[in-house]
Amino acid sequence: MSYLIDTKEGASYLVMGNEAIVRGALEAGVNVASGYPGTPSSEIIESLSTVAKERNLYVEWSVNEKVALEVAAAASFAQLRALCVMKQNGVNVASDFLLHLVGSGTRGGFVLVTCDDPGALSSVNEGESRYFARLMEIPLLEPGTFQEAKEMTKWAFELSEELRQIVVVRSVTRMSHASGNITYGKLSDVKRTAEFKFNGFVLDQDEGIVISAPVAWKHQQQQEKVKKAREIFEESPFNTYEGPKKPELLLITSSACYLYSKEAINVLGVEDRVGLLKLGTTWPLPPKLMIKHLSQADKVMVVEEVLPFLEENVKILAAERAGEIGIKTFYGKNDGTIPMTGELNPDLVIAALSTVLGIAYTPVPAEYDQTAQSSVASGAPAREQVFCPGCPHRASFFSIHNALEMDGREGFVCGDIGCYTMAIGSTGFHSLKTLHSMGSGTGVASGFGKLGQFGMNQPILAVCGDSTFYHAVIPALINAVHNKSDITLIVLDNSGTAMTGFQPHPGLDHNVLGEEVPSVDIARICEAIGARVEIRDPFDLEGTRETLNELIEDASGVKVLIMRKACALSPQRKNKKDYDVHVDETICVGEECGCGRLCTRIFGCPGLIWNEAQHKAEIDEVICVGCGVCADICPQGAIKREEVA
């Protein structure tokens, strides 16, 4: 049995923030959970799937975040408790449905968990999902500790039911992926039955039809819910204050920044000068609580990630109530005291706090810092992000790069989101020239492919992964076909959502619950849309390159090349070597004319190493997964492979 469903109340476990959220949902008696994989959110749905059977849950990886929110909404409409999980930019994808959902309202407790990624540790954006709460006019909760992550999630379902509105719980990478001790509460034993009622009065929230019209009336209802939330938040235990009654500086914070702020106050020893107001209910702000604390200090500093969301809302309140609380001096992002981009950490908060309080603080002697910096710079090898040994993407991009160079017309690839995003760098031979959101590579390519009438004659390529294909590429592909855009789409089909940890997607024949499900075939979809489709194994380098060149030259419209090879870490390939590979050093010419270290200097599989002393290439047998592709790139035939029986 998973420790996540330990029934012992008061049991203490060291869990990840994401697991604390899971436990909270289980204590709330969640029935349905859906989501789309995205770091740092993915463990929530995965963990729930592991206990789905015991807890009678329905858990799914949906095709994208919008559909995930719709799937979960259905459960709420049928009076079940529903959880929907995504990363920050997933909320953008789901936002159109969300806008209408907040108009119609909800029934069973419905919680949207968004895990933001300040500093873009695993993202190509550091989008702020908190603004959606204000934009959509729905309550926002931000846990500041691991215990709170659990309690807040549980409470969010109750709040949602009380308001008949979806509630957002916002985590961040350092909350979701860090671990802390939590104390368990009681697992819910409420049994819920799904029934969708629609025969009541049309405007009845519980038994009428679920729509966002009449809009003005529903919108007004929605704002009543916000007002109610504001009142409830006044008494929320998730808003806490530590410090003197009348502090010199009021520090307002939320989420992981609470811990940074606490540490900063402690390190500077300014507990008697600074009051720390930690907010768990960050939108709508509870005005009475805020006024109470704002009245006590002339200086106010707001510490948060990433944009000045809280800062702005506090300032609006302070302006509205200036007559009562007096004029404040604000410190935060807008005045530059705190960086406006990237992650915060205790050091940054210490620096900000010491400046505001006029404390001279140097964390380490300048000399020591300099020595540390220079020794790190000189001692550590340069490490770039690279594809794993045996990764099909390396082979795929080798062929894509070579096909484009041979074509010689300045063709380029519009990139997309997945491990293959790394092909903007040397590991993918700098192949990607645009990179935006899921599915955007194909959409942007569709546009480039129509610029022929303005003189563009560069070949236009796009790449996407298999999961991305289902998520958002299909509409863009339809657009390209229908509008006769001349593009070549390469689907890097590695049989799973590899980057986020191998979650199943609609192309596979099993789902997250391990059940057999119909797989949806990419090639047949593309053919039905009207594209010319070819399928190649990217480990056949020359065959793939030849096909690609032929497709690029075929100016008849949309071509799709599916490069099909399972990820080296996939269950099918993991720990299975196709070949034993070794270098015949009598043949390897190393740096000499005729090779120039192609394998270690250009191809760059981590399984290949350069022996400086011998001036020969070698195979790192510990790392090599035996894909054998390097034997095909070696110009001298020095890399030998033997099939593993």
Residue ranges in contact with other proteins by CB under 8 A: 401-402, 405-408, 429, 549, 591-596, 598, 601-602, 633, 635
For the bound state, the minimum distance from the C-beta of residue 594 to other proteins, rounded and expressed in Å, comes to 5
Nearer CB in complex with other proteins: 179/402: 402
For the bound state, the minimum distance from the C-beta of residue 401 to other proteins, rounded and expressed in Å, comes to 7
Closest C-alpha among 433, 432, 524, 537 to residue 470: 524
Q: How far is CA 70 from the centre of its chain?
A: 19
DSSP state of 245: S
Nearer CB in complex with other proteins: 593/622: 593
For the bound state, the minimum distance from the C-beta of residue 564 to other proteins, rounded and expressed in Å, comes to 24
Q: Quick one: three-class SS letters along 428-466? A: HCCCEEECCCCCHHHHHHHHHCCHHHHCCCCCEEEEEEH
Q: Quick one: tokens of 76?
A: 């709420």
For the bound state, the minimum distance from the C-beta of residue 6 to other proteins, rounded and expressed in Å, comes to 56
For the bound state, the minimum distance from the C-beta of residue 486 to other proteins, rounded and expressed in Å, comes to 15
For the bound state, the minimum distance from the C-beta of residue 599 to other proteins, rounded and expressed in Å, comes to 9
Q: Are strands 58-61 and 82-87 parallel, antiparallel or unpaired?
A: unpaired
Nearer CB in complex with other proteins: 58/429: 429
For the bound state, the minimum distance from the C-beta of residue 621 to other proteins, rounded and expressed in Å, comes to 24
Contact in structure between 485 and 558 (CB atoms under 8 Å): yes
Nearer CB in complex with other proteins: 326/596: 596
For the bound state, the minimum distance from the C-beta of residue 596 to other proteins, rounded and expressed in Å, comes to 5
Nearer CB in complex with other proteins: 429/502: 429
Q: Quick one: tokens of 191?
A: 């049994």
**Any residues with CB less than 8 A from the CB of 520 and at least 6 apart, and which?**
470, 506, 507
Phi, psi dihedral angles at 216 (to 5 degrees)? -60, -40
Q: Coil, strand, or helix at residue 279?
A: coil
Q: Please report, for residues 145, 265, 285, 330, the alpha-carbon distance to residue 338 in angstroms, rounded to integers and kept in the order given.
A: 22, 15, 22, 11
Closest C-alpha among 168, 173, 86, 84 to residue 131: 168
- DSSP string over 281-340: EEES--HHHHHHHHTT-SEEEEE-SSSSHHHHHHHHHHHHTHHHH---EEESTTTTSS-S
Nearer CB in complex with other proteins: 365/408: 408
For the bound state, the minimum distance from the C-beta of residue 436 to other proteins, rounded and expressed in Å, comes to 27
Nearer CB in complex with other proteins: 263/550: 550
Nearer CB in complex with other proteins: 187/595: 595
Nearer CB in complex with other proteins: 155/429: 429
